[in-house]
Amino acid sequence: MNLNQLRFFLAVADASSFSKAAEQCCVTQPSLSNAIAQLESELEGRLFIRNTRQVSLTPLGEHLRPLIAEVLDAKVGVTQAARSFLNPSHKLIRIGMSPLINTQLVATALEPFRRKNPETEIIFKECLLDELNQRMDEHKIDLAFLLSEPRKSGQACETFYSEPLYYLPNEDQAAAPLPSGPVTLASISEETIMVSKGCGLADGLHHLFTSQGLKMQEYPGQALSYQVLEDWAGLGIGAAILPQSKISSRNNSTCPLHVVKDQPATFVYETVWNDNITQSRHVNDLLTHFKKVVPKLVEGLAA
């Protein structure tokens, strides 16, 4: 077993495609497939289910995925520790984020800081909320982008951006003409809503419904990605609610969601950091950037 095999495994798991994973890893597809086969042989079990339409993880693959991610994270940590030891002046900022975050907006927000501080390296870690909070507690990330919620003691936050929510009707509803305007929480309170868990989507939607004295009818199953939620809505399994940035451009069956009439439903995201430790100067510089510069950038993009 080697790190490249583990890296290829995660690439295929993330892309749900051997060809896309090979392209991302800059190797040929036969080389990647051979590495996965060697890994499966050593682990004595299949990691992927392959068919002509898609690639998905087997139960063994699902079980090992977080463990393999930890191994690769540890490798990155060793590299960073060595670099910091040999080059104390090396400036590194570690950012964690929920899958809900609009990564294009993150790139736009960071671009002026990167131009001004080309010597500062920024690395990203996308993970679910439990892992993000653990990494914050263990000081393995310097700041995180998360859905707004009450913060625990020792954490500080600053509003990053807000994003409108859209309703994705199930297939039966989509067969009929879409509403001419937005739908409200009350008007869909009897619909079965599908969610993905661990990223903040389910908790955020439950809080939204509860704030209006409503109960969200949650689908008992669980999707692993926002694309799956779209696909399932198209298959008539249920309806879904997603932030605008997580809806594919090809989807024409969405409606703006309002809390009540004339009040758009939104998710608010925050920049979160540990306020009970002394941050390095370059981390403080980035926090200042998000406090003073980013709000103006976000306001300009929304205009």
- Topology of domain 162-267 in CATH is D-Maltodextrin-Binding Protein; domain 2 (3.40.190)
pTM beyond cutoff 0.85:
no
pLDDT of residue 70: 83
Buried b / exposed e across 271-292, counting CB within 10 Å, b at 16+?
bbbbeeeebeebbebbbebbee
Residue 192: its pLDDT value, please?
A: 94
Predicted confidence (pLDDT) at residue 286 exceeds the cutoff of 60: yes
Judged on CB neighbours under 10 Å (0-12, 13-18, 19+), 138 is exposed
Confidence label for 157 from pLDDT (cuts 50, 70 and 90): very high
Strands 217-218 and 120-126: unpaired
- Confidence class for position 174, pLDDT limits 50, 70, 90: low
Mean pLDDT of 242-260: 92
Q: Residue 52 is inside which H or E element, if any? A: none
Q: What pLDDT is attached to residue 78?
A: 78
The single-letter DSSP state of residue 43 is H
* pLDDT level of residue 41 (50, 70, 90 thresholds): very high
Cα(114)–Cα(14) distance, rounded to whole angstroms?
A: 27
- Work out the percent of the chain whose per-residue pLDDT is above 70: 93
Per-domain boundaries in the chain: 3-71, 81-161+268-302, 162-267
SS3 136: helix
Q: Which CATH superfamily is domain 81-161+268-302 in?
A: Periplasmic binding protein-like II (3.40.190.10)
SS3 category, 261 = coil
Task: Judge: domain 3-71, CATH 1.10.10.10.
Answer: yes
* Residue position matching structure tokens 């199930």: 170
Residue of 259 and 24 predicted with greater confidence? 259
pLDDT (average), residues 12-36:
89
Best-predicted range by mean pLDDT (90-94, 122-126, 243-247): 243-247
**CA dist., res. 241 & res. 251, Å (int):** 13
| Cα–Cα distance measured from residue 144 to residue 122, given in angstroms and rounded to the nearest whole number | 12
pLDDT at position 259 over 90: yes
pLDDT for residue 113:
95
Q: Average pLDDT of the chain?
A: 89
Residue 253 binned pLDDT confidence (cut-offs 50, 70, 90):
confident
pLDDT band at 40 (very low <50, low <70, confident <90, very high): very high
Percent of the chain with pLDDT over 90: 54
Average of pLDDT values for 233-253? Answer: 91
* Domain pair 81-161+268-302 / 162-267, same fold: yes
Q: What does the block give as tokens for 93?
A: 């900022």
pLDDT at 202: 94
For residue range 94-117, list pLDDT tens digits in order: 999 999 999 999 999 999 999 999
Query: Mean of the pLDDT values across residues 239-267?
Result: 93
